[in-house]
Structure 1
């Protein structure tokens, strides 16, 4: 059975997007209201994440061609894809924050199915863990702070030595003046 050209174009576009994506999250969105969906899409845009609803058959072709065979098992029911070529954590963070914000934790309105991080397929628990990580900027700041701490210590020790030398010289000067 031949695949129609327009469907081939969709699959090719998905493959291209996923190949350049650092983070991908598959969600089930059954029962999401139009207002909630609009709000979610706005949050995705703010974070630089692309979000789209995709037919499972198209998605199946794309993920198989890219070697993400482990994702095929999650392609049941309604499926939307969030992906970012800039930030690995952004899709997971936005979705998890939206679920908490709108109190969707006790419903099956918006559920995380699985994800891909740097070419590795992770399950829903892995996506949740990923979302709990601090942002890249915070991690870099922490790293720089921990790298800066030993340098600050050395500077303080050296300043203490210089300060003590100044006190000694001052004491010698006072002693010579009084003599």
Structure 2
């Protein structure tokens, strides 16, 4: 799951549109839909915190019934908006599972233990998730997938038990250049 609204909130998905005629709204879920089951509130982009009256598990996705949203039109107004949860409100993940917010602030190390940089964010790039790694030369995007990055879950202490290692090919951690040195993409 990716951040975006704040470092103390995690994006859970976005609203697809109405579910029924009494204000239910379908959510496209970015992770496990069961994370909605125990939530008492969610943060809705451009709306703020809303109380969750009920979360209905669908196949796939979730229908949320939120305080103050009681009509189909009210649910329609939420279409396309992102929905977040406070990191502290999320359920403890199962063994072998982690939340993206737990990766922020971790050190990314190379195979020999050398420090490559610090993870400052995780972004949803559509086709894959990317770590934003800050190092001496600037920020770089690193694919959050094997073989580039391995997330090591060392025991039960969270998030201190998480470790990241990267076996990155040459150039992957180069910071994005501010100017276009080869001329590609320049309008003349």
Higher helix fraction (1 or 2) = 1
Q: Same fold (TM over 0.5)?
A: no
Structure-2-length-normalised TM-score: 0.22
* Structure with the larger RCO, 1 or 2 (CA within 8 Å, 6+ apart): 1
Report the structure number with the largest CA radius of gyration. Answer: 1
